[in-house]
Structure 1
Amino acid sequence: MDEGDRPTDTDESAGRDERTDEESAAASEGSDDGSSDESVDRFSDESTDRLPEESDDPLSDESDDQPPDESDDRLPDESAGPTSVGEGDVPSDSEVDAQPRDEPGSLGQGDAAAGQRSASRAGGESGIESGEPTADESLVHRFRHDREGALMWIREMLSSVAVVLLVGLLLFGVSGVWPPMVAVESGSMEPNMQVGDLVFVTEPGRLAPDAAENGVGVVTHEVGQEVDYRTFGSYGSVMIYTPPGRTGAPIIHRAMFHVTEGENWYDRADAEYHNAVDCGSLANCPAPHDGYITLGDNNGAYDQASGLSPPVRAEWVNGVARLRVPYLGYIRLIATGQVELNEAIAGAVGSGLPATGPGSASTALTA
């Protein structure tokens, strides 16, 4: 390159002055052109002025072409600040209207699918909650609310059994013996106890009266006359006992008096209830051991005189009768075959059962 072709210092100063004037004029036009356009022009002019000074090779031409393109892509975004916005950066009303909007209440495809799944789950749960009852639920409902049919009869029967068991448990808590009730199955205690009576029993010694001077809570007929203690229509206590070797139901008879071992009790006995002429002809006399002489109210002989039982030891006593409930014992007697249904009906209406002979035992079937 000739020296004449090279730019002088004067020319470079003139060029810079011209660029300064041009930049000032561009700035005076206002912010309408935008900071991005100003940056592009300034960078292009400076690139054009500097690159020829460095070299005249083909790289100068590339510099003249490429930097303006790169500045057009990057600098407008980087140099744009919040203080100035060009008219080209603000979308027009037509562009805003052209942009897709979500209408109120509308859902996207993903939201719509999720909503459908939630609705289906909610529908399934509500179907389970408010749908038809299951077979088990229906059966339980019918069992509890049916007014007729087999389920009603089963419910009533189970309710009755439950009531009886509950009452039995309560009575057991009071009596202290199980079972707490016995059913009278013979007439030896008539008229004070009838066949079919259900008798409430307490264990020996429980609820004993003051007149009972023994551990079993029994007041004898002899003592009852002295202190005016009466139960079941006569003096003294009625007790339930089981002598050794007895295979039948326990015996429920009245305690008449107490004897000691070796005692000659012939003189204390009422001649109405034995046929003996002396102790030698009276069974169990003298007394083989301590015990009670007993008698059924409807019998003509002592249990010991008839040979039904030796004098009743205290340990043979199962309990003491306290209360009777008429007719309720027939349920137990019919169930065990002790009484036929027609006999139970006849006894309930008052025609009575065949009379028992002298010396018979009024037995108590444990309920």
Structure 2
Amino acid sequence: MSDTTWLQRAASGLAAFRESENPVVSLARDLLWVVAVVGGIALALYLIAGTWPAVVTIESESMVPNMNVGDLVLVVDEDRFGGLTTWDEGRLAGHSSFGDYGDVIVYRPNGADSVHPIIHRAMTYVDTAAVEESGLAEYYTNPHGGYITKGDNNPYIDQGNLRIVGVGVVEPVQKEWIVGKALVSVPLVGYLPLHLAEFAVIVIVVILIHDFVLARRKGKGE
């Protein structure tokens, strides 16, 4: 009996919230709807991609002309839709993506979470011995193997050449540092995440104006 009463009260409260004409309640309903839609999209992207973040925005020109500033890129798990293929492997197998051989990966430089991930092409994979022989080992302690990466628009590879404040010289990318690989990109849409705060303010203002106009029309009708 108590369970039934609780359910009845909950249903009654939900109905009152849904049908209330109070401006504050109306605004809360609209905001909850926006949150539900955004959350649903995020969940769907995660289920499709198998990794997070499932989308990234291109913020530099290092991948021009194959990726441009403002592009929104869908990122999937490195082994989804086929294994990760380097430029060397792609050249032999004929596998290409984003205008060149091999896959473009998103990785955390040196495993750091304090900076934005980098989205560059995986050029080749080297073991520890190859790193030591190449001279890359002089840039960091505890040499290790990993992927050598490069921006399509850069004249040099990341490893041993790219230095990031608070991280140091970028090392060969270990598997656990890889967020995922780029699957597809949509031009210009990425400007939205870059200005998410401004977009949220605009949405809230539009909702407020919409509710105000509806309230005025209803007032005149009565």
Is TM more than 0.5 here?
Answer: yes
**CA–CA distance in 1 between the matches of 2:86 and 2:36?**
38
Aligned to 2:95, which of 219, 229, 248? 229
1:244 equivalent to 2:111? Answer: yes
Normalised to the residue count of structure 1, the TM-score between the two structures is: 0.41
User: How many residues align structurally?
Assistant: 176
Aligned to 2:182, which of 307, 311, 321? 321
Normalised to the residue count of structure 2, the TM-score between the two structures is: 0.66
**How far 1:288 sits from its partner (Å)?**
2.5
Structure 1 residues 195 and 151: alpha-carbon distance in aligned structure 2, compared to 1, 3 A threshold: farther
- Letter of the aligned partner of 2:148 in structure 1? I
Greater RCO (CA < 8 Å, at least 6 residues apart): 2
**How far 1:323 sits from its partner (Å)?**
1.5
**How far 1:247 sits from its partner (Å)?**
2.3
**How far 1:178 sits from its partner (Å)?**
2.5
- Letter of the aligned partner of 2:19 in structure 1? V
Match of 1:175 in 2: 49
Structure 2, unmatched stretches of 5+, are: 1-14, 164-169, 199-222
**CA–CA distance in 2 between the matches of 1:290 and 1:188?**
24
- Letter of the aligned partner of 2:190 in structure 1? G
Match of 1:334 in 2: 195
Deviations 1:226-267 (A, max 9, x none): 11111111111111111234621111111001111121698x
- Letter of the aligned partner of 1:182 in structure 2? V
Task: Report SS of the residue matched to 1:263.
Answer: helix
Match of 2:130 in 1: 263
State whether residues 52 and 179 of structure 2, in contact with CA within 8 Å, keep that contact through their aligned partners in structure 1: no
Task: Report SS of the residue matched to 2:41.
Answer: helix
**How far 1:190 sits from its partner (Å)?**
1.6
Task: Report SS of the residue matched to 2:40.
Answer: helix
Aligned to 2:172, which of 289, 294, 311? 311
Sequence identity percentage:
38
**CA–CA distance in 2 between the matches of 1:255 and 1:197?**
19
Match of 1:187 in 2: 61
Match of 1:200 in 2: 74
State whether residues 236 and 255 of structure 1, in contact with CA within 8 Å, keep that contact through their aligned partners in structure 2: yes
**How far 1:283 sits from its partner (Å)?**
6.0
State whether residues 283 and 304 of structure 1, in contact with CA within 8 Å, keep that contact through their aligned partners in structure 2: no
Task: Report SS of the residue matched to 1:165.
Answer: helix
Task: Report SS of the residue matched to 2:130.
Answer: coil
**How far 1:219 sits from its partner (Å)?**
0.4
Structure 1 residues 282 and 176: alpha-carbon distance in aligned structure 2, compared to 1, 3 A threshold: closer
- Residues 69-84 of structure 1: pairs in structure 2 closer than 5 A: none
Deviations 1:179-218 (A, max 9, x none): 321222222112211222221111232222xxxxxxxx31
Q: CA RMSD in A?
A: 3.4
Match of 1:38 in 2: none
- In terms of fraction of residues, the more strand-rich structure is 2
- Letter of the aligned partner of 1:194 in structure 2? N
Structure 1, unmatched stretches of 5+, are: 1-135, 144-148, 209-216, 267-278, 338-367
1:220 equivalent to 2:220? Answer: no
Larger Rg: 1 or 2?
Answer: 1
Structure 1 residues 194 and 156: alpha-carbon distance in aligned structure 2, compared to 1, 3 A threshold: farther
